Amino acid sequence: MDTAHVMHRHFSLIAPSYRSLRTSDLEPILAIAECMVPLKRLRATDICCGAGRYDLLLLRHLDIFHLTCIDRDESMLLQTQRYLRSHGISRFRTLKANSQEIPLEHQSMDCIVTFNAIHHMNFPRFISQCANIISRRGKVFIYTRTRRQNARSIWGRYFPRFVEKETRLYKLDEMVAGVREVGYLSLDAVKCFRYKRRAPLEQLVEKACRHHYSTFALYTRDEFEQALSEFQDRIRRVFKRPAPITWFDENVLLVLSPRRTTGGAACT
């Protein structure tokens, strides 16, 4: 399977409905805003911005003078443009580019963010790119879920082969080691988030069928249909009541900056 081709097709198709299918968490935005409090009129960029769901939150909660929204998919960038403009926002631009060759000037950004996208990238290459474009006063924020967090999710626990299919996610210690090995940036902090979720089974099935996680695009049609049927059976056995299903999602936020004392890992 050509994963790059599958992902390109997946995101192009899902772009119009992406924001409605995914949950946008405010907590990491507030954590980023707290880290950036001393800085005003930020020059910021969101790498792999998708349909702009986190860009609106960034612009509302940070003192951003101008935001550059970067993605390789034109459909996603079009959605970002429409979304931000519909909220009366003009202090942004969209830029089609690959995350491994970020076309921004040296030390041109005070804040670099990427949300739930680092597993689509070559981690050392991305860190090297960030080190080149981050300003001396700036910070880099990587929000993602680790491989272990993914395995503990409702999909990892109950959807057949979900963990086996999703091999792109990094372990936390891999990312920490990657930052140290590249050497240009320092790890200031690792912040962990845990969210209580609730949804009826029907809603979970709809999300899976509409491939709200790109992992589902890695299944063949027959594999997916069989796995979806087994997922529903497992959920009904474990959650015997007809009430909404309750579970926890977990994410991690890495905070990086140029040449500072390296911190430690706080979760896995």
Q: Which of 6, 106, 107, 95 is nearest to 47 (CA)?
A: 95
Residue-wise pLDDT tens digits, 74-103: 999 999 999 999 999 999 999 999 888 899
95: Cα separation from own chain's centroid? 18
Residue-wise pLDDT tens digits, 161-180: 999 999 999 999 999 999 99
Question: How many residues in the chain?
Answer: 268
Residue 10 pLDDT level (bands cut at 50, 70, 90)? confident
Predicted model pTM: 0.93
Average pLDDT of every residue of the chain: 92
Instruction: Give the C-alpha separation, 62 to 40, whole Å.
Output: 9
Residue boundaries of the structural domains of the chain: 3-258
**Burial grade of 210 (CB within 10 A; 0-12, 13-18, 19 or more):** middle
Q: Are 95 and 31 in contact (CB under 8 A)?
A: no
Q: Are 148 and 174 in contact (CB under 8 A)?
A: no
Instruction: Give the C-alpha separation, 79 to 12, whole Å.
Output: 11
Residue 183 pLDDT level (bands cut at 50, 70, 90)? confident
Domain boundaries 3-258, CATH class: alpha beta
The alpha-helical segments, DSSP class H, found in 172-211 are 172-182, 201-209
Cβ partners under 8 Å of residue 257, min gap 6: 134, 138, 139, 140, 185, 186, 188
Residue-wise pLDDT tens digits, 192-214: 999 999 999 999 999 999 999 99
